[in-house]
Structure 1
Amino acid sequence: MKTSAPIANLLVIRSPDIERAVTFYRQMGMTFEFHAHGNGPKHYASESNRFVFEIYPQRSAADTTRHVRLGFHVDDVDGVVQLLRDIDAEVRTPPTATEWGRRAVVKDFDGHLVELVTPPDRPPDGPPTA
């Protein structure tokens, strides 16, 4: 039986302050809904291109996702990095031309490293064409 490669559809990070965390990702252009499932904790969820990104509350100091590195394609790396600088986010690697396109690495307010890339084939108003 031949199967195709899996496609990521969900990523959950944890934060001790989900309100503060969602501020960072909203600044990148993500939109969020606040909700809970059944008796589960209230959290934020953003869905784009059938991919769900959720920010859940951290339950304890050991319940961390801080060492997970995240990556997002964005329309304008330089513009997004400036928006993040405006809210005092730490820029670890400033926007630079690379073989993958224009790339930067920033740190969110909980310590996650977030790689931002504008691929060279990305049109100015949407995802890459295939």
Structure 2
Amino acid sequence: MFSRISKVKSILSDTVSFCSTMQIGDTSYIDGNALALAVQKKSETFGSIDIQFEDYNVFKRPIYLPRLYEPVNSSFSNPNPFIRVGNINIIGISSSSVVGVGNVGHIRMESRVKHIRQIPKKVEEQSIEVSPNNT
């Protein structure tokens, strides 16, 4: 099925989160999906917020995947069956992403994020009466 072998001396990642994948070795299929609601609220008190993904259209819409009608002619020559890599240092892998060491047949990834900012209305400035005695 696969025609190349990946050799990595070392791999280091500080963070792998939110439907992300670190795949070491060959795989046929990777499917990742991340949905996120990011709520920013300016308040002195923090209470629970009852928000559902279904409340927002961005999570309901089907994904548009364009069809490719262009013919692709390809040929491969792998005289050396090894891909050699020294050290891999990764700060973070997040939100439906993949780091793959090895061969992957097919990858499908989706990430949808809705940002909500709840900012209170400005308090109207109170008018201050100035008396003739105040200078």
Instruction: Name the TM-score, length of structure 2 as normaliser.
Output: 0.17
Instruction: Name the TM-score, length of structure 1 as normaliser.
Output: 0.17
Which protein is richer in helix relative to its size?
1
Bigger Rg over Cα = 2
Which protein is richer in strand relative to its size?
2
